[in-house]
Amino acid sequence: MSQTNDPAPSSPRRGRLITLEGGEGVGKSTQIGRLLQRLRDEGIEAVATREPGGSEGAEILRRVLLSGVVKPLGPAAEAILFAAARIDHIDALIEPALAAGIWVVSDRFADSTRAYQGGAGSLDNRLINALERTALGDLQPDLTLILDLPPGEGLRRAAARRKDADGVDRFEGEDLRFHEAIRAAFLTIAADNPQRCVVVDASASEVEVAAAIWTAVSDRLLKERELDRAHGS
Ligand SMILES: Nc1ncnc2c1ncn2[C@@H]1O[C@H](COP(=O)(O)OP(=O)(O)OP(=O)(O)O)[C@@H](O)[C@H]1O
Ligand SMILES: Cc1cn([C@H]2C[C@H](O)[C@@H](COP(=O)(O)O)O2)c(=O)[nH]c1=O
Q: Alpha-carbon distance 112 to 193, whole Å?
A: 14
What atom of ligand 2 comes closest to residue 171's alpha carbon?
8
Ligand closest in space to the Cα of 59: 2
Kindly give the distance from the C-alpha atom of residue 43 to the centroid of ligand 2, in angstroms, as a whole number. Answer: 30
Q: Cβ(122)–Cβ(75) under 8 Å?
A: yes
* Torsion, Cα of 71, 31, 83, 112 (10° steps): -60
Q: Which residues contact 157 (CB under 8 A, 6 or more apart)?
A: 25, 26, 27
Provide the edge-to-edge strand list for the sheet that holds 143-148. 46-50, 103-107, 17-22, 143-148, 197-201
Please give the angle made by the CA atoms of 221, 133 and 48, to the nearest 5 degrees. 40
Q: How far apart are CA 141 and CA 86, in angstroms?
A: 13
ipTM of the complex: 0.98
In the chain, domain spans? 17-230
Ligand 2 near 114 CB (within 6 A): no
Of all atoms in ligand 1, which is nearest to the CA of residue 107? 22
Q: Which residues contact 5 (CB under 8 A, 6 or more apart)?
A: none
Beta bridge partners of 199: 146
Distance from Cα 4 to the centre of ligand 1, integer Å: 42
Give CA–CA dist 83/109, Å, rounded: 10
By most ligand atoms within 8 Å of CB, the mutation choice from 19, 24, 29, 201 for ligand 1 is 29
Residue nearest to atom 10 of ligand 1 (CA): 27
Can you give the pLDDT of all 233 residues of the chain as single tens digits? 333 344 455 555 799 999 999 999 999 999 999 999 999 999 999 999 999 999 999 999 999 999 999 999 999 999 999 999 999 999 999 999 999 999 999 999 999 999 999 999 999 999 999 999 999 999 999 999 999 999 999 999 999 988 555 568 899 999 999 999 999 999 999 999 999 999 999 999 999 999 999 999 999 999 888 777 777 75
Helices in the chain by DSSP H: which ranges? 28-41, 56-67, 75-89, 95-99, 110-112, 125-136, 151-161, 176-192, 206-217, 223-230
CATH T-level fold of 17-230: Rossmann fold (3.40.50)
Protein residue closest via CA to atom 2 of ligand 2: 112
Distance 116 CA to ligand 1 centre (A): 19
